[in-house]
Amino acid sequence: MSGKSPFRQKQRYWEEKLWDLLTPLSLEDLLIMAWAIEAFRTGRDQAALKHAALPGAPADHAIGGRLFVPPWSVDAVLNEKLVLGGAGGQPVRRLDLKAWGSIAKLLGTYNALANVESVKDIEDNKIVAALPRLFWPQYDWQIGYDNMFRLARAWHVYVTPEAREVFEAKYDIELDLFMKVVLAIYAGTEDSPGVSYARIEGVGASRAEIASVSRVIGSNFEGQMRYSVELRDSDLPRVFRRSVIKERPLFEYLARDGSKGFFVPSRECLLLRITDGLYYDIVSDPDARRVSGDKFEDLCFQLLEHFAGPENYVERERETSYGKSADLFLLDRNGEAGITVECKIRRIPQRVLTSPDPWRDCADAFDDIVKGIVQIWRTQAELYAISRPEMVGVVLQYDPWTVMGNAFIQEIFVKAGDKADRLGIPKARRIPVALVGYAEFESCLRWYEIDAIREGIRLSVEEKYHGYQLSGIIEGFAAKSGPKDTFDYSEIAGRAVPWWGELA
pLDDT score for 20: 92
Mean pLDDT of all residues belonging to the chain: 90
What does the pLDDT look like over 328-338, one tens digit per residue?
Answer: 999 999 989 99
Residue 140 CA to residue 268 CA, distance in Å, equals 9
Q: Beta partners for 252?
A: 220, 262
Which stretch of 59-63, 329-333, 454-458 has the lowest confidence by average pLDDT?
59-63
- Taking 90 as the threshold, does the pLDDT of residue 411 lie above it? no
CA distance 62 to 50: 19
Signed CA dihedral, 190, 196, 201, 205: sign only: positive
Q: Which residues on neighbouring strands pair with residue 396, listed in sequence order?
A: 343, 436
Q: Cα Rg for the chain, rounded, in angstroms?
A: 25
Q: What is the pLDDT of residue 410?
A: 83
406 pLDDT band, cuts 50/70/90, is low
> pLDDT band for position 89 (50/70/90)?
very low
Q: Do the Cβ atoms of 271 and 143 come closer than 8 Å?
A: no
**Cross-strand bridge partners of residue 219:** 251
Q: What is the residue-wise DSSP string for 126-184?
A: GHHHHGGGGGGGGHHHHH-SSSHHHHHHHHHHH-SHHHHHHHHHHHSS-HHHHHHHHHH
CA distance 186 to 190: 7
**CA-CA-CA-CA torsion sign (293, 294, 299, 305):** positive
pLDDT in tens, 142-198: 777 667 888 999 999 999 999 999 999 999 999 999 999 999 999 999 999 999 999
Section 459-481 average pLDDT: 90
Residue 139 pLDDT > 80: no
Q: Is the pLDDT of residue 87 over 60?
A: no
Largest CA distance in the chain: 79
User: CA 306, CA 309: separation in Å to the nearest integer?
Assistant: 7
**CA distance to 27, 39, 234, 338, 450, per residue, from 304 (Å):** 47, 36, 45, 12, 10
DSSP 74-114: HHHHHHHHHHHTT--S---SPP-TTBHHHHHHHHHHHHHHH
Question: CA triplet 499, 503, 504: central angle to 5 degrees?
Answer: 105
Q: What is the dihedral of CA 44, 75, 363, 369, to 10 degrees?
A: -10
Single pTM value for the model: 0.91
Give 383-405 pLDDT, tens digit per residue: 987 777 899 999 999 988 776 55
- Cα–Cα distance for residue pair 121/339, rounded to 1 Å: 41
- Burial category of 140 from C-beta neighbours within 10 Å (exposed 0-12, middle 13-18, buried 19 and up): buried
Q: How confident is the model at residue 441 (pLDDT cuts 50, 70, 90)?
A: very high
Chain-centroid distance, C-alpha 132: 15
Reported confidence tier of residue 355, pLDDT bands at 50, 70, 90 = confident
